[in-house]
Amino acid sequence: MRIAMLAPIAWRTPPRHYGPWELVTSLLTEALVRKGVDVTLFATQDSLTAGTLDGVVPAPYSEDASVDAKVWEHRHLAHVFEQADRFDLIHNQADFPAHAFSNLVSTPMVTTIHGFSSDRILPMYEPYQDRVHYVAISEADRHPRLRYAATIHHGIDVGSFPFDPVGSEDLLFFGRMHPDKGAHHALAVAREARRSLHLYGIVQDQGYFDREVTPRLGDRARYHGPVGGAERLQALGSARALLHLIDFDEPFGLSVVEAMACGTPVIATRRGSMPEIIEHGVNGFLVESQDEAVVAIAAAAELDRVKVRESVAKRFHVDRMADEYIALYRRILAGEQDGLPSASAQFA
């Protein structure tokens, strides 16, 4: 089976610190390669893979201001689709622009929708649903006007996340500095609970950060910026709980399962995919108010951190994700996807 894996180009694949779409793309690519699938990763030229790396984009546009996002995204897509006949299937992880090329080639195509942001993007999804096989990353993120080939939750390499059996008395926020992610709620709850809070993540909305986050920082609330590597792993594991008090319907939430892989329970707003990921009272708590979050912080100490980690190992391992995608590829190539065009290519 020859797969063309189309990565986004905002960040390197895998990312150095932030870049959730690139991270998932890398995790899946490497797992597929380990399972014997022939994968060519189309990504920025500084990307890393055990598969075959192919690319024309010199650097990620979020890291190199000389890389014009619009120009190089189109060059990136053209480079893939101009050689589509070399592959049995194209797996698009780079959002809807690739759909503009889909009817120009006969190679079957899968698009993983990394969060359906709004109805405004429907014009680049709805007209292509007879051509492209859509994958949702949670049941909650399915749009009622689209047909889906599957729902496949993300998976992580659980073994790469060291287990911390103790954690600490401090709380953790891990995510974008944007109103959706609720850093301001985490700050308010931590203050009410009289606990220290460590915040990590890129600043995506500077106005929000300056208005709602910066004034609340101090000795008991510290912002550390985006982190990667060992520092990231240490942050995820050394907390009493991760606060994920979101103000939007979270499509998945990688930091949620990553924290739980380290043994850290998660306290999250009952929105979006959170009920699919969090087992209330086992690996965290689902809450509907800041008052409930404060109560959950006290209860988090009673959770078994071993069971928190086990809940992720059973359901959100990268090998499970890869196996589900391989099964989907095979169904597509065998022409078994109802309502979508069959493929004549055969898998190895």
Q: pLDDT tens digits, residue range 126-139?
A: 999 999 999 999 99
Q: pLDDT tens digits, residue range 119-128?
A: 999 999 999 9
Its sign, for the CA torsion 212, 69, 258, 314, is positive
CA-based nearest residue to 215, from 226, 205, 225, 223: 223
- Whether the per-residue pLDDT at 345 is higher than 50: the answer is no
Q: pLDDT tens digits, residue range 173-232?
A: 999 999 999 999 999 999 999 999 999 999 999 999 999 999 999 999 999 999 988 999
Q: Are residues 182 and 127 in the same domain?
A: no
Whether 162 is covered by a domain: the verdict is yes
Q: Are residues 306 and 267 in the same domain?
A: yes
The total of structural domains in the chain comes to 2
Assess contact for 36 and 59: CB atoms under 8 A. Answer: no
Whether 280 is covered by a domain: the verdict is yes
116: pLDDT confidence band, cut at 50, 70 and 90? confident
Q: How far apart are CA 28 and CA 93, in angstroms?
A: 11
Assess contact for 74 and 56: CB atoms under 8 A. Answer: no
Q: Are residues 148 and 166 in the same domain?
A: no
What confidence score (pLDDT) does residue 228 get?
Answer: 87
Q: Are residues 207 and 255 in the same domain?
A: yes
Beta strands across the sheet bearing 266-269: 221-223, 197-200, 171-174, 241-244, 266-269, 284-287
Q: How far apart are CA 179 and CA 189, in angstroms?
A: 15
What confidence score (pLDDT) does residue 149 get?
Answer: 97
The CATH number that applies at residue 47 is 3.40.50.2000
User: Which pair of structure tokens corresponds to residue 79?
Assistant: 């480079």
Q: Are residues 222 and 273 in the same domain?
A: yes
Q: Are residues 75 and 172 in the same domain?
A: no
38: pLDDT confidence band, cut at 50, 70 and 90? very high
Q: How far apart are CA 312 and CA 297, in angstroms?
A: 20
Helix (H, G, I), strand (E, B) or coil at 240: coil
pTM of the model: 0.92
Give the CA distances from residue 151 to residues 111, 112, 136, in Å, rounded to whole numbers and listed in that order. 12, 9, 5
Which residue segment(s) compose the domain that 304 sits in? Answer: 158-314
